[in-house]
Amino acid sequence: MKIATAATELGVPVLRPMTERERYDLAFELGRHLLRVQCKWASLHEAAGVIKVGLQGSWLSPQGYVRSSYAEDEIDLLAVYCGDLARCYLLPGSLVAGRRAIYLRVSPSRNAQRACINLASDYEFAGAVAQLEEHQSGTLGARGSSPLSSTPSTVDVGCHEFRNHFGYYLERAAAGEEIRISRRGRPYARLVPAEPVQPKLAAA
């Protein structure tokens, strides 16, 4: 309900499947597309400075509980509600596919690690929805926003910022964006997806 409320407050129509055991809980209507959304409750691990999001689904079978992760062709988005912070987050399905859990960092790590981490601030719900709406209208995403759409775009970033947020920009490239890295104001390298990214949006 928290996630559905957050979406409707932003003017996003929210739908629910009529049948049970679907791999998604809600659908968001954005433009001419319906995006399948899996919803998860997350807990804050204050000592570690992270929000832990469990990503496995489970159901009871005659042989006992069956647990599985989510595939990219099953969901488009993962919506997260952290009750400890009373905040919602929105992540692309490509970021969580095949994982058992993901951690969103809310404070600096103790070992000063800055690469290969997911900053919670990059996936704030309102900003993520705004990015989706920008891509749906055919405009390029704003610099620093989340890589939630498969619409190709180009992001310019300096070497220092790229190094400090390597994991973040790696995920953006994997989602289909081209990352152009500059050094001392001059173009230095490009980061592109290893394989062409195909849209995974379900037509309304």
pLDDT given for residue 123 in this prediction: 93
Percent composition of the chain: helix, strand, coil (DSSP 3-state, to 5): 20, 35, 45
Domains assigned to the chain: 2-151 (3.40.1350.10)
pLDDT given for residue 134 in this prediction: 73
pLDDT given for residue 197 in this prediction: 58
CB-based contacts of 119-126 (< 8 A; 24+ apart in sequence): 119/165, 119/168, 120/51, 120/89, 122/146, 122/168, 123/80, 123/89, 123/90, 123/91, 124/87, 124/89, 125/3, 125/6, 125/7, 125/10, 125/79, 125/87, 125/88, 125/89, 125/90, 126/6, 126/10
What pTM value is reported for the model?
0.67
Give 20's DSSP letter. S
What's the mean per-residue pLDDT of the chain? 82
Angle at 104 (CA atoms; ends 152, 42), nearest 5 degrees = 115
Point out the least confidently predicted range of 35-49, 67-81, 97-111.
97-111
d(CA 172, CA 175): 5
* Per-residue pLDDT reduced to its tens digit, 13-50: 999 999 887 889 999 998 888 999 999 999 999 999 99
Of 62 and 52, the one with more pLDDT: 52
pLDDT value at 191 more than 80: yes
Question: Average pLDDT for residues 68-77, to the nearest whole number?
Answer: 91
pLDDT given for residue 117 in this prediction: 80
C-beta of residue 132 within 8 angstroms of C-beta of residue 149: yes
Question: Average pLDDT for residues 52-77, to the nearest whole number?
Answer: 86
* Per-residue pLDDT reduced to its tens digit, 126-169: 999 988 887 666 543 333 344 444 445 788 888 877 887 777 78
